[in-house]
Amino acid sequence: MKKFLTLLLAVVMTLSLAACSAKDNTSGSEAAESDGQNPVMNFVGTYGCDRATVIVECKGADEAQFTVTWGSSAATHAEWTMSGKLDTDKLTVDYTDCVKKEVTFNEDGSVAKEDVIYEDGTGTISFSADEYVLTWDDAKEHAAEGMIFVGGGVTEETDYSAVTAMSASEVEAFAEFLKGAYLNEEWDVIAEYVQYPVNVNGVAVEDEAALLATLKDMHVADSAFNAMTQETCTHLFMNGDGICLGAGDLWLADPNYMTDETPVLNIIAINGVE
């Protein structure tokens, strides 16, 4: 079984388990006026919608730094980076410095190449005063038209030590990687990280050849697709069976837990396919 290598594309995501969780403290407009800190601090976090993720960070005294990643497959993703000053009255950030890249990864997760698509993107990112959400008006390509990105504030890492010795960042990076492969129905990628026998919709499958034959003509069900797209890959649910992604669409376990072997997570169950 192949061991997971930490992906360069992985980020330590800081969302709550439910992608639709709302911020439960002061409203954005009130918090943005607080003294002594960059007002963007009140909106820092990771926001998600469908297969896209927006990371919001502080830059300098009053600017926001944004990184948008949008996975087209487990091996490639588009990446936008931009920054601008927060208008604390409108809760908007106008930017004129957006750089878009297409990033391609090797099988071990290292970057194979980065192609710059453009360096002159413009647009606006708007925060909500009442909910922890943002919208992205991309003037260059209208990439996120009609999309609402939902997030959660900065929180402490989840401790997964009850099921694996892997760090939270490693667990959640691996979960994000598997999420992309599952949503894109890249069954050959999924098969590389399976512990056999593996249950597929409750039926035991004995080896990789049988798994690929089983999944060959199967697709992710609509309900599973919706659940997995809302999966933030942070603060993952876990119990005695292992770690859960989506609505139980993937279950992970560490066969080396409580041993001297290197910790590694494997897929032990695949659900939500038809």
Over residues 177-189, the pLDDT tens digits come to 999 999 999 999 9
Residues 189 and 233 in one domain: yes
Total domains in the fold of the chain: 2
Is residue 152's pLDDT more than 90?
A: no
3-state helix, strand, coil in the chain (%, to 5): 15, 40, 45
Residue 242: both structure tokens together: 């292992």
Domain assignment of residue 197, yes or no: yes
Which residue did the predictor score with more confidence, 250 or 75? Answer: 250
Q: Are residues 119 and 227 in the same domain?
A: no
95 part of a folded domain: yes
pTM above threshold 0.85: no
Residue 196 tokens read as 């056999």
- Asked whether residue 65 falls in the same domain as residue 113, the answer is yes
pLDDT, one tens digit per residue, over 56-112 is 989 998 899 999 988 766 577 899 999 999 999 999 999 999 999 998 876 555 678
Quick one: which H or E segment has residue 67?
A: strand 63-71
Q: Tell me: cis bond preceding 255? Omega within 30 of 0 counts.
A: no
As given in the structure block, the two tokens for residue 26 are 């002061």
Q: Is residue 15 part of a domain?
A: no
Q: Which of 125, 152, 179 corresponds to the end of one domain?
A: 152
| pLDDT higher than threshold 50 for residue 163 | yes
- Regarding whether 197 and 96 lie in a shared domain, the answer is no
- Res 21: pLDDT: 33
Within a domain: residue 161? no
Same-domain status, 259 and 232: yes
147 and 215 fall within a common domain? no
Whether residue 123 lies inside any domain: the answer is: yes
**Which of residues 21 and 117 earns the better pLDDT score?**
117
**Residue 239, Cβ neighbours under 10 Å: how many?**
10
Q: Rounded mean pLDDT of the chain? A: 83
Residue 13 and residue 269: Cα distance in Å, rounded? Answer: 24
Q: How far apart are CA 209 and CA 196, in angstroms?
A: 11
Q: Do 181 and 258 belong to one domain?
A: yes
Residues 95, 185 within the same domain: no
Structure tokens that stand for 76 in this block: 């490639």
**Placement of tokens 């890492």 in the chain:** 157
Q: Clarify whether residues 86 and 134 are in a common domain.
A: yes
The pLDDT of residue 132 is 84
Last residue of some domain: 152, 176, 207? 152
Q: Which residues of 138-177 are buried (b: 16+ CB within 10 A; e: fewer)?
A: beeeebbeeeebbbbbeeeebebeebbbbbbebbbbbbbb
Residue 222: inside a domain? yes
Query: Same structural domain for residues 114 and 144?
Result: yes
- Which pLDDT does position 76 carry in this prediction? 79
Q: Specify the pLDDT at position 36.
A: 58
pLDDT at 66 (0 to 100): 96
Q: Where are the alpha helices (DSSP H) in the chain?
A: 28-31, 168-183, 187-191, 208-215, 222-229
Pair 196, 113 in one domain: no
Q: What domain range includes position 173?
A: 168-270
Please report, rounded to a whole number, the percentage of residues in the chain having pLDDT higher than 90.
54
- Please check whether residues 76 and 192 belong to one and the same domain: no
Asked whether residue 262 is assigned to any structural domain, the reply reads yes
How confident is the model at residue 183, as a pLDDT? 95
Domain membership flag for residue 194: yes
Closest among 63, 46, 103, 57 to 80, alpha carbons compared:
103
What is the structure's pLDDT at 74? 59
Say what the pLDDT of residue 191 is: 96
pLDDT at site 122: 98
Q: What whole-number percentage of the chain has pLDDT above 70?
A: 82
